[in-house]
Structure 1
Amino acid sequence: MRFGLLGTGYWATETQATALAAHPRAELVAVWGRDPAKAGAVAERFGLQAYELIDDLLAQVDAVAVALPPHIQAPLAARAARAGKHLLLDKPLSLTVDDAEDVVAATRETGVANLVFFTNRFDPVVAAALSEAEQTGGWFAGRVSLFGAIDTPGSPYAQSQWRHEQGGLWDVGPHALARLLPVLGPVRQVTALAGARLTGHVLLRHESGAVSEMSLTIHAPQAAGHFNNVFYGESGILELPGGSISAVEAFGNAVDELLALAQAPGATHPCDVVFAAQVVRILHAAVESVESGRTITVAPSR
């Protein structure tokens, strides 16, 4: 499968391009970026063709890997899908429900294979633990705490404008939801508060009756960096592991799964754009709850 890379930043080069360049059944052939000079540098590093126009790139590839800010990713993903290109996208899918739904609509129109890279969901240790928890059942509560430190000297994301604007809710919130939803099921109500250090504190009522909580920030002091994922149920307390492999290895696994989807028309994936759009709805509801001081009901998928 011939891939085009949309994006030229740290995540695009050090994770996506690196994984694609090493993959035995994928060929990274093209790159596009908002800054032509950066696109040229990526092209030279990986032996690619840099394109100034998206449509020219799309004409040369079977699939696109996207590592762009979410408000830029969504319209380009929809455009690529309508051009018949398979999608390997990043989280969050978008910053608005409408943009997320447009990507979903585009994939349904053309039937292209699609995945969103919720990193730990492509880690075999995490995936196995989530599957076991889902099969066990009987969970009445869950929690994810994820405190990142984007302002640490040397952080590759310190200059990421969209992350500073949207905070941990949108940056690491998708990772938290990608762990909670498979085990506890869809969310119907959201209550959220904003805390110090741009921390989002979110309560989620699931259709199953379970209630989960998320505490999220990317602006924690380095000494307060923290991750924890726990479920509480009839069988006791279950603490799920963090990641066991590198992001590059996980992305390689995502490429494998996209290739398999492309060979099975009509097949779906638990981390497809439909799931990613539901994550966007929940995060949008959390923002609305913070701003209004009310509990927000999450609309079902269209």
Structure 2
Amino acid sequence: MTMVERVAVGLVGAGPWASQVHAPVFATGPETRLTAVWARRPEAARELAEPYGAQACAGFDELLDRCEAVVFAIAPEAQPALAERAARAGKAVLLEKPIAGDVDTARRLADVIGAAGVGSMVALSARYAPRVRDFLVHLAGAETAWRGGRLACVTDAFLDGPFAASPWRQTRGAILDVGPHAFDLMSVALGDIVDMRADSPGAGWTAVQLVHAGGAVSQLVLCCAAEAGHRYDVELYGSAGTAALDLSTAIDGAAFAVLRAEFASLVRDGGEHVCDVRRGLYLQEVIARAEQQLAAAR
């Protein structure tokens, strides 16, 4: 793409993820330019927009008028209504995960985007990381039957740092925040999730056992309130050995460069993306099943 052809992107939200990732990624990339920012707090929108020469918009409709595509970095409950408006206005959308606060709302969002005929992607950061993609290709091409797996995502993100004050993360925990990434990677590696058992001993810890189509099983350990022992990794077990990846180092700046390029291509060329809103809906359904089990166990 030439500079003239760069996709004009509007950013909704001015919180930590918007300021640390989305704004610099879409403002400085060769495929896109950041033209507008809108947030619930006008002063936060101005503070984020100014360094990139973007317009801080007084309302969401003004943002839609100033962009070709919309990137969201807001809470799950707030995202669907605005994303539906963007889709109906003909704008491609990059959605935050999870795509909604509940399954019914996620399903309606997917239907609206489908009816509007616009492109969609979900910011499942691992799926855009080149090393993760190579790992998944290796798993698919290996001459072994993968029968089991484990994924651990153990961090202190809810104790300190920019996400510690996030109300929806504190209320619904790691299952809603990092759960989409974990369920997505395991279902790609081992097949669709057909059964599960979710438990929580408290203190922010969640353990999930999954059964996949074809009979493979996997285990997830999720916690964003761990004071020590931080790790983010995945390992698969098969008839001819194991395959492992340290996700904490594999997901880096290259992932967001790929995300930006593929989103720009979706806007310009159309088509569908493997991580589209329907993928987001699938993950929302899996999350809902896990949350129901966790609620029943309390």
User: What TM-score results when the alignment is normalised by the length of structure 2?
Assistant: 0.92
Q: Give 1:161's match in structure 2, choosing from 155, 158, 167.
A: 167
Provide the rounded CA distance (Å) in 2 between the counterparts of 1:32 and 1:211: 43
State whether residues 18 and 248 of structure 1, in contact with CA within 8 Å, keep that contact through their aligned partners in structure 2.
no
Trace 1:1-302 onto structure 2 (pairs within 5 A). Answer: 1-136=7-142, 138-153=145-160, 155-221=161-227, 223-244=228-249, 247-265=252-270, 267-293=271-297
The code of the aligned residue for 2:205 comes to: T
State whether residues 134 and 182 of structure 1, in contact with CA within 8 Å, keep that contact through their aligned partners in structure 2.
no
State whether residues 144 and 215 of structure 1, in contact with CA within 8 Å, keep that contact through their aligned partners in structure 2.
yes
The code of the aligned residue for 1:191 comes to: R
> Structure 2: which 5+ runs fail to align?
1-6
Provide the rounded CA distance (Å) in 2 between the counterparts of 1:17 and 1:180: 29
Provide the rounded CA distance (Å) in 2 between the counterparts of 1:262 and 1:4: 13
Provide the rounded CA distance (Å) in 2 between the counterparts of 1:148 and 1:36: 32
State whether residues 125 and 243 of structure 1, in contact with CA within 8 Å, keep that contact through their aligned partners in structure 2.
no
Q: How many residues align?
A: 291
> Structure 1: which 5+ runs fail to align?
295-302
Provide the rounded CA distance (Å) in 1 between the counterparts of 2:259 and 2:158: 29
Provide the rounded CA distance (Å) in 1 between the counterparts of 2:289 and 2:72: 25
Q: Give the 3 Å change call, closer, same or farther, for CA 288–245 of structure 1 in structure 2.
A: closer
State whether residues 176 and 287 of structure 2, in contact with CA within 8 Å, keep that contact through their aligned partners in structure 1.
yes
State whether residues 187 and 205 of structure 1, in contact with CA within 8 Å, keep that contact through their aligned partners in structure 2.
yes
State whether residues 126 and 241 of structure 1, in contact with CA within 8 Å, keep that contact through their aligned partners in structure 2.
no
CA root-mean-square deviation = 1.8
Provide the rounded CA distance (Å) in 2 between the counterparts of 1:95 and 1:43: 27
Provide the rounded CA distance (Å) in 2 between the counterparts of 1:133 and 1:116: 23
Provide the rounded CA distance (Å) in 1 between the counterparts of 2:105 and 2:213: 25
State whether residues 70 and 94 of structure 2, in contact with CA within 8 Å, keep that contact through their aligned partners in structure 1.
yes
Q: Secondary structure at the match of 1:224?
A: coil
Q: Secondary structure at the match of 2:168?
A: helix
User: What TM-score results when the alignment is normalised by the length of structure 1?
Assistant: 0.91
Provide the rounded CA distance (Å) in 1 between the counterparts of 2:252 and 2:111: 29
State whether residues 232 and 246 of structure 2, in contact with CA within 8 Å, keep that contact through their aligned partners in structure 1.
no
Q: CA deviation at 1:33?
A: 0.3
Deviates more, 1:80-89 or 1:39-48: 39-48
Provide the rounded CA distance (Å) in 2 between the counterparts of 1:203 and 1:256: 35
